[in-house]
Structure 1
């Protein structure tokens, strides 16, 4: 998932068991089939020799991109985060999650290598991190192709993320995956449908009215973690007829302050629903907002203009267009 301080248990024992009792795991990957394809990923050419047969993904929304393209059978497995059950229970691809191999909640070198992948799909702070040593360069070192989530591409000479509009990032990844896996027609159909869905939601905004000021509330550690303009929620909010109060931050998911959030007086709040533990529940986050002295006086909290969406709907993924429709309907119901 994107950068946020989770404490994840590393299932080392199960990894060692896999490597100890399955010596042939390292030889299990099927040889790639098809011709080489070169796409642009994070501003650089990426060549894939043949159609990948053993794909490892990290995070629910990234995995759902594979499902949306009909590529479930290409998965060697996926990892996610504690609480992913909420995403899976609300997923249009629930059956695919049940069918695909689950590799646990820890995206580590040991877990990835034990799956013997030929293609690894993750993103910076959506699995790739220098601190864990699981980087695109390391993926190459084990003979697999690393594909980086475009929403999380790093800006040149900085750790800030996001190099294009979030929906453009989704469309770029779908097109690239379509080329790599030989399902470009399917990718194009998805993108065309998403564009129509987004356009209809955007057109529903009332004319001649200022967009509603919207705060994306992810968590508090203890300062609020939110979305800058290059993360998916910022464009989700904008296309729904609102305005992300932190759209001026040139970054994706980032930490700000309660003072800054309260000064911008959000008229509506979108909460990220993880479903992981009592402190991460939607009710707990609403209580925190109401008890936070600065936020308690904002329009959104006073009037109860708060909506929650699953995590997988608010990071780059195929649920983004539906999220735009949901947020648009919510804003219209509040007179915005």
Structure 2
């Protein structure tokens, strides 16, 4: 970054990218002539990607965290003085009012299909959008979720903001960390059957083949019993959960119902008494920010891998 000394202030001048950068964002190609200077990220996991890449000086704020989650001390230190512009999904007016030139969001991570805020509705106002890879299933066909979804987003953000080497080093480090997690643990005799319990008592909200927990479970050596559920996140009936008899239950911890309350519901419901996971009290708790695509996915795999191997 170059600086110009003026009689009034020290002014930062960000050069254009050496060449225009084009990245794939779901079913669109998006071209950037220069790094965005007024970016907004939505949701806690997407914001952590921006923080991991040290991009706060390119941001004017974030959205969609405190309406569902709480910012922990680890994240608060990285956010610094950045404001939360909306506690839940931002309106178009919120983004325009912040002077945003870039919005990092996803489908059901700050945007809804046919909603007010989409790449198409923001384009006339000069706001470019990059979409979270995992979320692309809501508008196009894609393979099941994998760790590469998260790596892809970091590499694309690195290209967009002119820090490709920083992004590559981060991804290489995550890959090495993931290899180390599995190398440090004994091999499994077989893949344990795993159910992801997000929320809901009458019917459970869970992770299908296109949601990040499916990738985390497989990376840790398990099998998601709802892998044939052709969605990312969605509601199923309890009957197939009982029939498939999970050996481990992964609880996603966020919102007003605590992880302990979710565990107590599973443990105390007679219909679940014969589930192996309930009989053996085998639960693994993942924070929302660990269960959704982002830098804490490696930590999540370690938790799962250790939980799968626990007696």
TM-score, normalised by the number of residues in structure 1: 0.82
Q: Per-residue displacement from partner, 1:61-111 (whole Å, max 9, x unpaired)?
A: 0000000001012111111242421xx216x43312343221131322232
- Residues 197 and 235 (structure 1 numbering): CA distance in 2 closer, same or farther, change over 3 Å? same
Residue 243 of structure 1 is matched in structure 2 by 223
1:292 pairs with one of 246, 269, 287:
269
Residue 6 of structure 1 is matched in structure 2 by none
Q: Offset at 1:187?
A: 0.7
CA–CA separation in structure 2 for the residues paired with 1:168 and 1:237: 14
1:109-258 → structure 2 map (5 Å cutoff): 109-130=92-113, 132-154=115-137, 162-163=142-143, 165-203=145-183, 206-207=186-187, 209-220=189-200, 222-258=202-238
1:37 pairs with one of 15, 21, 26:
21
Residue 42 of structure 2 is matched in structure 1 by 58
Number of aligned pairs?
296
* Helix, strand or coil at the partner of 2:16: strand
- Residues 127 and 32 (structure 1 numbering): CA distance in 2 closer, same or farther, change over 3 Å? farther
* Helix, strand or coil at the partner of 1:50: coil
Residue 9 of structure 2 is matched in structure 1 by none
Query: Which segment is superposed worse, 64-73 or 123-132?
Result: 123-132
**Is the 8 Å Cα contact of residues 188 and 221 (structure 2) preserved in structure 1?**
no
CA–CA separation in structure 1 for the residues paired with 2:144 and 2:250: 22
Residue 102 of structure 1 is matched in structure 2 by 84
**Is the 8 Å Cα contact of residues 258 and 295 (structure 1) preserved in structure 2?**
no
Q: Offset at 1:166?
A: 2.6
Q: Per-residue displacement from partner, 1:43-70 (whole Å, max 9, x unpaired)?
A: 4311122110001111000000000001
CA–CA separation in structure 2 for the residues paired with 1:67 and 1:61: 10
1:318 pairs with one of 289, 295, 299:
295
Query: Which segment is superposed worse, 42-51 or 52-61?
Result: 42-51
CA–CA separation in structure 2 for the residues paired with 1:262 and 1:98: 46
CA–CA separation in structure 2 for the residues paired with 1:47 and 1:221: 45
- Residues 165 and 173 (structure 1 numbering): CA distance in 2 closer, same or farther, change over 3 Å? same
1:80 equivalent in alignment to 2:64: yes
Query: Where do 5+ consecutive residues of structure 1 fail to align?
Result: 1-29
* Helix, strand or coil at the partner of 1:56: strand
* Helix, strand or coil at the partner of 2:226: coil
* Helix, strand or coil at the partner of 1:272: strand
Q: Per-residue displacement from partner, 1:126-168 (whole Å, max 9, x unpaired)?
A: 111135411111121221101100000036667xxx5454311
Query: Where do 5+ consecutive residues of structure 2 fail to align?
Result: 1-11
CA–CA separation in structure 1 for the residues paired with 2:185 and 2:96: 48
Residue 3 of structure 2 is matched in structure 1 by none
**Is the 8 Å Cα contact of residues 122 and 128 (structure 1) preserved in structure 2?**
yes
CA–CA separation in structure 1 for the residues paired with 2:130 and 2:140: 20
TM-score, normalised by the number of residues in structure 2: 0.88
1:266 equivalent in alignment to 2:251: no
